Structure 1
Amino acid sequence: MRKRLPSVSLSSYGIGSSTNKRIAIVALVVTVLLVTAATVAWVSGSGNGHPDQDPAAPAPAPAPTSSPSTSEAAPKPAAGSGSVPKPPQIAEPVAYAKAAAQMLWSYDTRDTSRDQQLAGMRAWMTGETTYSDWASVSGQVPDPVLWSRMADQDQHATASVTEGHFPSAFKAALADDPSAITRAYIYVVTVNGKQQIVWKKGGSGAEERAVTLAVQCRPSHDCSLAAIAPSVTQ
């Protein structure tokens, strides 16, 4: 019997209400890149897949009734980053977005605390505060209570990326005004992949994932993550 996997992964948590910074980033993507407002919707990351789950295995911790605070501050670097990989030195936006998506869809509560998870994710962000929407990224992490319950079940996830691409609306806007990108060098990239979740007593599940990211790649610099971006589909 096929059941939907409970929303327990990092990418399953909503982004929450808009902040001033998020509005500014939306305006940047929409105005600078000339993407019409009709195409903009926030990505929840929950996907529409129906994962396979072992009915005999205990279900992992349920999703919280409310999303984590979108204004949560990043933990101090001293917290370490546990199993979160360090950001790669990549100067091509699609390749960086694929690596970032894989990072966002992966976690291991067995050896990584929630603060370590956040610290590791924060290292992927752009240092330009004007364009960095940390709230949209940190909002993907479960609240402390749920993280603890996930840790009690030794819950961990790995991810594979199938493809990444510039959405057609982004490519069309860039073709209309190629110089627009030079203001902030922020690229919109949609990434598709699959997440595999495992917990105690043989419990497991898999689900298709998709996310649209805003990636900053200035010339002669490695790329960095700016935000979980507005969804500019296709």
Structure 2
Amino acid sequence: MRKRFPSSSLSSYGSGWSTNQRIAIGATVVAVLLALAGVVALLTGGGNSQQTPDAAPPAPTGGPSHSEAAPKPSSGSGSVPKPPQIAEPVAYAKAAAQMLWSYDTRDTSRDQQLAGMRAWMTTETKYADWTSVAGQVPDPVLWSRMADQDQHATAHITEGHYPGAFKQALAEDPSAITEAYIYVVTVNGKQTLSWKKGGGGAEERAVTLAVQCRPNHDCTLAAIAPSVTQ
């Protein structure tokens, strides 16, 4: 079995939005668009995968607390890239997905990983669902086990697009976007994992992100959104 993040980690997406965030975003276009899409299930990732025949440590189970606090700025961000200055939603979502699917436990602590991810988030707390993003990082014990095996991952993005439900809803009511300027974008790609003694594997990935792109401002990440994949 390959050593990798559990299903509620950076390598797979499925953390739900909190009740407060659903209420807050429910007053915005995101709620309208997702309701029209009839979304009730969260994105689970998965797909075709390959791995080397080398035996790998057992995959950890469990995940971080949903009450994960924002990391202290002084912890640094390790190998996590800084958010790019991009004002186009699809391009930003593709960059964010690549960031979320990439990590390196050899030179980045868990706190640094969280700090680096936090820098990509919108500062508008009404729309920011940090829990859905922080929930992708394993708890300290699991991160430590991964670090013991020098586990790291890179990502290749193949495409990003607005789901059909989002485009249809926006066409029906263009003004709905103008309160929060939050766009729903689905991104597809591949994650390649590596660890000690030549171990490794590759998996197809997909994620739907809520990205905030106000006019004349760079985009920011609002949340890992429920699945809208068409």
TM-score of the pair, normalised by structure 2 = 0.92
| Structure 1 residues 170-195: Cα deviation after superposition (integer angstroms, max 9, x where no partner) | 00000000000001000000000000
The answer for the alignment partner of 1:59 in structure 2 is 56
Deviation of 1:12 after TM superposition, in Å, equals 2.6
Q: What CA distance in whole angstroms lies between the structure 2 residues aligned with 1:113 and 1:81? A: 8
Deviation of 1:70 after TM superposition, in Å, equals 1.6
Q: What CA distance in whole angstroms lies between the structure 2 residues aligned with 1:170 and 1:37? A: 8
Alignment of 1:103-142 (within 5 A): 103-142=99-138
Deviation of 1:13 after TM superposition, in Å, equals 5.8
- Within the alignment, does 1:230 sit opposite 2:221 as a pair? no
Q: Is the 8 A contact 1:30 1:37 kept in 2?
A: no
Q: Is the 8 A contact 2:30 2:183 kept in 1?
A: no
The answer for the alignment partner of 2:161 in structure 1 is 165
Q: What CA distance in whole angstroms lies between the structure 2 residues aligned with 1:54 and 1:34? A: 39
Alignment of 1:36-75 (within 5 A): 36=36, 38-44=38-44, 46-47=45-46, 49-55=47-53, 57-64=54-61, 66-75=62-71
Amino acid at match of 2:217: H
Q: What CA distance in whole angstroms lies between the structure 1 residues aligned with 2:139 and 2:204? A: 23
The answer for the alignment partner of 1:20 in structure 2 is 20
Q: 1:17 to 1:186 in 2, by over 3 A?
A: closer
Unpaired segments ≥5 residues, structure 1: none
The answer for the alignment partner of 1:213 in structure 2 is 209
Deviation of 1:27 after TM superposition, in Å, equals 5.8
The answer for the alignment partner of 1:97 in structure 2 is 93
Q: What CA distance in whole angstroms lies between the structure 1 residues aligned with 2:127 and 2:142? A: 30
SS of alignment partner, residue 197 of structure 2: coil
Q: How many residue pairs end up in the alignment?
A: 227
SS of alignment partner, residue 59 of structure 2: coil
**In percent, how many aligned pairs have the same letter?**
77
Q: What CA distance in whole angstroms lies between the structure 2 residues aligned with 1:140 and 1:90? A: 23
SS of alignment partner, residue 12 of structure 1: coil
Q: What CA distance in whole angstroms lies between the structure 2 residues aligned with 1:34 and 1:19? A: 15
Once structures 1 and 2 are overlaid, which stretch shifts more, 114-123 or 7-16? 7-16
Deviation of 1:59 after TM superposition, in Å, equals 1.2
SS of alignment partner, residue 28 of structure 2: helix
Q: What CA distance in whole angstroms lies between the structure 2 residues aligned with 1:17 and 1:36? A: 18
SS of alignment partner, residue 194 of structure 2: strand
- Please, what is the CA RMSD of the aligned residues? 1.9
